[in-house]
Amino acid sequence: MHEIPAGTRLPDPLTPVRDITHRHFRAGDRIAIIRGTVRGQLWGDCLHVVAPSWHTPTDEDGWRLRDPDGGELSYITAHPRHLVHLDRRCADCLIHLRALAGHLLPRVPGLQALDAGWYSLTPLHQLVHVGDR
């Protein structure tokens, strides 16, 4: 089977152009940040939306998020377009998830697990997507 070497970055043309407002999310929402694939499905981190918070890397309104399993990295700040709802049947987020799946899954063979390398954290725990500016 053709394998993608670890550390390979795949492009994400979808998240940077996603049209989603800050108000789409609320404190208490459960969300995911999609990072790649595992066993032929999208894979990511599951977090809780805590409170509005300035997203310094984009100079726009973001959200403070809590990772229940995060340890020292329990709290991060992300831009709304990084987030997809998990617990609401939300058309906006489902459309984005389907688009990400359609883009990513055909590029990753079989059952391979891959972190697409889209996200990094600043020293102040602000989440940055490779397409953020």
Chain residues binding Zn ion by CB under 5 A are 85, 90, 92-93
- In the complex, the smallest distance separating the C-beta of residue 91 from Zn ion, rounded to whole angstroms, is 8
**Long-range interactions of 122-126: CB distance < 8 A, separation 24+:** 122/56, 122/57, 124/56, 125/73, 125/75, 125/76, 125/77, 126/55, 126/56, 126/57, 126/62, 126/76, 126/77, 126/78
Nearest approach in angstroms of CB 88 to Zn ion is: 6
Q: Quote the least distance from Cβ 124 to Zn ion, whole Å.
A: 26
Tell me whether residue 51 or residue 94 sits nearer to Zn ion (CB atom). Answer: 94
Phi (first) and psi of residue 29, to 5 degrees = -65, 145
**Residue number with CB closer to Zn ion (26 or 66):** 26
Closest CB 58 distance from Zn ion, rounded Å: 19
Give the integer Cα–Cα distance in Å for 24 and 92.
Answer: 9
99 closest CA partner among 81, 121, 117, 77: 81
- Looking at the Cβ atoms of 61 and 115, the one nearer to Zn ion is 61
Cβ closest to Zn ion, residue 93 vs residue 128: 93
